[in-house]
Amino acid sequence: MISPRYHREIPQRYRLEAGRCEDCGEIHFPPRFVCRKCGGKRFAIEVLPRRGKVLTHTTIWIPPAPFEIQKPYVVAIVELENGVRLTCMVAEAPPDEVRIGTPVELIFRRLQAQPVWEVLQYGYKARVLAG
Ligand SMILES: [Zn+2]
């Protein structure tokens, strides 16, 4: 099921808004209410950089049903230019184009080919940048 939390986080996902702890500087994406590092509760909004590189990746050959039409596809952990890491699908790239260290940028795409539970889910994906 799609959780209320998912809906709450949509604007943040679209704008790539993270929360930077005002006490220790740790950046949380999506933002949290309590800092995982120091327990601080004061945050400033910080927009994440769109560019980063692939830290690690895997190819999904047998996906969950909503993603069936897109197989095979690559899921990567991307480290953004400010050090924040996130997991996302790599768009429009055959698996052999994605390697550790491959430069990518985040783009917004529909995540599933078919509406799931009558909701179209959009979010970020990574796109390989031409070397
Ligand atoms: Zn903190």
- How remote is the CA of residue 54 from the centroid of ligand 1, in Å? 26
Q: What is the pTM of this model?
A: 0.78
User: Which residue's entry shows tokens 């698996």?
Assistant: 95
The one-letter code for the residue type at 130 is A
Q: Domain 49-131 class?
A: mainly beta
Q: How far apart are CA 104 and CA 37, in angstroms?
A: 28
Indicate the range of 1-5, 24-28, 32-36, 93-97 predicted with least confidence.
1-5
Q: Specify the 3-state DSSP secondary structure of 95.
A: helix
Residue ranges of domains in the chain: 1-48, 49-131
- Per-residue pLDDT for 115 more than 90? no
Three-class SS of 30-85: CCCCCCCCCCCCCEEEEECCCEEEEEEEEEECCCCHHHHHHCCEEEEEEEECCCCE
- Per-residue pLDDT for 15 more than 90? no
- Per-residue pLDDT for 119 more than 60? no
- How remote is the CA of residue 34 from the centroid of ligand 1, in Å? 8
- How remote is the CA of residue 36 from the centroid of ligand 1, in Å? 7
Percentage above 70 pLDDT, the chain: 79
- How remote is the CA of residue 87 from the centroid of ligand 1, in Å? 22
Q: How far apart are CA 75 and CA 90, in angstroms?
A: 6
Q: Could you tell me how far CA 38 lies from the centroid of its own chain?
A: 24
- How remote is the CA of residue 13 from the centroid of ligand 1, in Å? 21
In this predicted model, what pLDDT tens digit does every residue of 25-79 receive, in sequence order?
A: 999 988 889 999 999 999 999 999 999 999 999 999 998 887 888 888 899 999 9
